[in-house]
Homo-oligomer: A and B are copies of this chain.
């Protein structure tokens, strides 16, 4: 499963990097120059996630958002995204907050994925 470099891949990555936020499939489709199929976008994004370049958050609206990994260990196995995300109910932006959050779970519980989202009004909209 070697990865190949394609126009779609690079453009999506540029869009994510330029934005700095977590973007939904739709947001990405809007910001991409060339028309790109929905399935393709999802496949590219999921591949990025596998490769540890990108991480995914599911909003309290049920939608998936994808953001570039910032401080992640390059080791794809254990990049823990235990930081908070903020989704603005007004403008729709989803930001990765700096806040890393370590939650002590009860005995016997094993954490695999953190999906922490607070929604409200962002700095610009409040």
Q: Is A92 an interface residue (CB 8 A)?
A: no
Which 9 pairs between the two chains have the least Cβ-Cβ distance?
A: A108-B123, A60-B115, A112-B120, A111-B120, A62-B62, A110-B121, A115-B117, A110-B120, A110-B126
Within the assembled complex, what's the spacing in Å between the Cα atoms of A51 and B21?
34
Residues of B within 8 A of A101 (CB): 101, 103
Q: How many copies does the complex hold?
A: 2
Decide if B118 touches A105 in the complex (CB within 8 Å).
yes
Q: Is A72 an interface residue (CB 8 A)?
A: no
Within the assembled complex, what's the spacing in Å between the Cα atoms of A61 and B113?
11
In this complex, what residue of B is CB-closest to A58?
B60
A113 to chain B, nearest CB (A): 5
Residues of B within 8 A of A104 (CB): 99
Decide if B108 touches A126 in the complex (CB within 8 Å).
yes
